[in-house]
């Protein structure tokens, strides 16, 4: 059997195995082990522990649980509600102010947590009822939060970008910087659509009878400034040459725990135990996925699948943008069925030789790939953010949430096109600060 035929068989088998609901780590490990035994015999089992543990020796992986604990600490507090309320007061006179406030709160909260589901839950619980109470349609209220929550995997610190950096051997610091301007661009596109739709539907003036004094506008800032200071401090430590990503993540996690204890009074042992327990649970899950995905990549390489795909695409006499369009389509389809972590860890070893052979910047491609992962979070049948929003507002049907999210998907496609036309949006800041 040719390597390409084996690759197609591996892809189909992986989709079928993961579609059964088996945990991603077990599914990837089972597929990798099965193909290794079938094609290389039982002796290949000896390479399994060595491959997994050598992959998990990367010191950069220490940053994962630290950023996860950082997000868990913030998500356990009222930081999301305070962010939303503060922005709602300051943007009160802007058309469609509540939707724009929610999207802005999602962007800021994403920078604190790096988690899309956590952002959806934290901002949606307060923002969606408030928007619906003040006359905003259910599809716009729910769709804007579902889409705004996806910013959690683009705006740094991003767990998705850490995974991509590990899988592609790309600088995580450069990836974080590369996500800043595209993240702001996508936030701006979301806000522009929300403003336009609010104006078109006549929901511009529904809440302008309320007047906030300057004192009320400044009231919540003391609670927010420490968290924003932590983000600025972590970024400065990363790019000021003070600390490695792992060290900066550790400091950020410690500071976030201190902040929620002193500002939000999350000091009881049970509260702290829940934060650490959730952080440990998610970290363990991600590390298992990383370990088995490394084994999966080893299997693909040992069977010559990765090399053959790269050679075939490199020999295709087509424009490199056609190749990129095909890769984007592949990622979009994969995102409909698999979570971002699985897609990145499975496809990156295959796609990186293709991307570099086509002359694309791996850092720039990391941003494009991440926006594709954002699309997958609000695309059926496994659009995680859609189900999070549906759990928050069970009286709003899933098709209504999807209808509200569709225009924001269009904004993501526009962002990818803009990045293709102006790649400097992703590469300028890393080049400026890191050379």
Q: Classify residue 341: in a domain, yes or no.
A: yes
Residues of the chain with pLDDT under 50: 205-206
Q: In this predicted model, what pLDDT tens digit does every residue of 83-125 receive, in sequence order? A: 777 777 777 767 677 788 888 888 877 777 777 777 887 788 7
Q: Classify residue 294: in a domain, yes or no.
A: no
Which residue range is the domain that position 393 belongs to? 60-285+308-434
Mean pLDDT rounded to a whole number for the chain: 81
CA separation, residue 161 to residues 244, 318, 344, 371, 374 (Å): 16, 29, 9, 11, 12
**Residue 269 pLDDT:** 86
Domain tally, the chain: 1
Q: Classify residue 37: in a domain, yes or no.
A: no
**Residue 382 pLDDT:** 65
**Residue 216 pLDDT:** 75
Residue 361 CA to residue 324 CA, distance in Å, equals 12
Is 339 within 8 Å of 116 (Cβ atoms)? Answer: no
**Residue 206 pLDDT:** 47
Q: Classify residue 39: in a domain, yes or no.
A: no
Q: Classify residue 254: in a domain, yes or no.
A: yes
> What is the CB neighbour count within 10 angstroms for residue 178?
31
Q: In this predicted model, what pLDDT tens digit does every residue of 367-382 receive, in sequence order? A: 999 999 888 888 876 6
State the Rg of the chain over Cα. 22
**Residue 210 pLDDT:** 64
Q: Classify residue 258: in a domain, yes or no.
A: yes
**Residue 23 pLDDT:** 80
**Residue 241 pLDDT:** 67
Spatial CB neighbours of 336, under 8 Å, sequence gap ≥ 6: 376, 379, 380, 381, 382, 383
Q: How deeply is 151 buried, as exposed, middle or buried, from its count of CB atoms within 10 A (0-12, 13-18, 19+)?
A: buried
Q: Classify residue 3: in a domain, yes or no.
A: no
Q: What is the 3-state secondary structure (H, E, C) of the chain?
A: CCHHHHHHHHHHHHHHHHHCCCCHHHHHHHHHHHHHHHHHCHHHHHHHHHHHHHHCCCHHHHHHHHHHHHHHHHHCCCHHHHHHHHHHHHCCCCCCHHHHHHHHHHHHHHHHHCCHHHHHHHHHHHHHHHHHHCCCCHHHHHHHHHHHHHHHHCCCCCHHHHHHHHHHCCCHHHHHHHCHHHHHHHHHHHHHHHHHHHHHHCCCCCCCCCCCCHHHHHHCHHHHHHHHHHHHHHHHHHHCCCCCHHHHHHHHHHHHHHHHHHHCCCCCHHHHHHHHHHHHHHHHHHHHHHHHHHHHHHHHHHCCHHHHHHHHHHHCCCCHHHHHHHHHHHHHHHHCCCCHHHHHHHHHHHHHHHHHHCCCCHHHHHHHHHHHHHHHHCCCCCCHHHHHHHHHCCCCCHHHHHHHHHHHHHHHHHHHHHHHHCCHHHHHHHHHHHC
Q: Classify residue 393: in a domain, yes or no.
A: yes
């Amino acid at each position: 059997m040719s390597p390409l035929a084996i690759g197609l068989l591996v892809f189909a088998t992986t989709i079928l195995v993961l579609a059964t609901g088996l945990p991603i780590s077990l599914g990837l490990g089972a597929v990798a082990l099965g193909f290794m035994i079938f094609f290389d015999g039982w002796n290949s089992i000896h390479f399994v522990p060595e491959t997994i543990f050598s992959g998990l020796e990367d010191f950069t992986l220490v940053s994962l649980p630290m950023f996860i604990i950082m997000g868990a600490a913030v998500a356990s507090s009222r930081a999301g509600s305070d962010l939303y309320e503060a922005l709602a007061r300051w943007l009160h006179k802007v058309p469609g102010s509540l939707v724009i406030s929610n999207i802005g709160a999602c962007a800021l909260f994403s920078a604190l947590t790096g988690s899309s589901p956590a952002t959806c839950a934290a901002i949606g619980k307060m923002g969606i009822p408030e928007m619906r109470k003040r006359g905003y349609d259910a599809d716009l209220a729910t769709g804007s939060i579902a889409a705004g929550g996806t910013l959690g995997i683009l705006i740094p610190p991003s767990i998705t970008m850490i995974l991509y950096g590990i899988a592609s051997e790309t600088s995580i610091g450069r990836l974080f910087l590369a996500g800043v301007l595209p993240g702001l661009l996508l936030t701006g596109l979301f806000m522009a659509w929300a403003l336009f739709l609010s104006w078109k539907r006549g929901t511009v003036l529904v809440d302008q009878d309320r007047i906030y004094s300057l004192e009320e506008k400044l009231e919540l800032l003391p609670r927010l400034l420490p968290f924003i200071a932590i983000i600025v401090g972590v970024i400065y430590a990363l790019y000021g040459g003070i600390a490695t990503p792992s060290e900066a993540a550790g400091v950020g996690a410690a500071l976030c725990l201190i902040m929620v204890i002193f500002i939000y009074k999350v000091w009881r042992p049970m509260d702290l135990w829940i934060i650490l327990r959730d952080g440990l649970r998610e970290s363990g899950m991600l590390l298992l996925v990383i370990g088995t995905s490394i084994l999966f990549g080893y299997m693909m390489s040992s069977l010559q699948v990765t090399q053959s795909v790269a050679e075939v695409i490199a020999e295709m006499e087509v424009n490199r943008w056609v190749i990129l369009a095909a890769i984007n389509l592949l990622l979009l389809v994969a995102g409909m069925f698999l979570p971002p972590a699985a897609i990145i860890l499975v496809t990156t070893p295959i796609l990186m030789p293709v991307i570099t052979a086509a002359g694309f910047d791996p850092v720039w491609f990391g941003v494009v790939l991440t926006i594709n992962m954002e699309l997958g979070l609000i695309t059926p049948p496994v659009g995680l953010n859609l189900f999070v929003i549906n759990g928050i507002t069970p009286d709003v049907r899933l098709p209504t949430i999807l209808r509200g999210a569709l225009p924001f998907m269009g904004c993501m496609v526009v962002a990818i096109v803009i990045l293709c036309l102006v790649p400097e949006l992703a590469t300028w800041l890393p080049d400026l600060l890191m050379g």
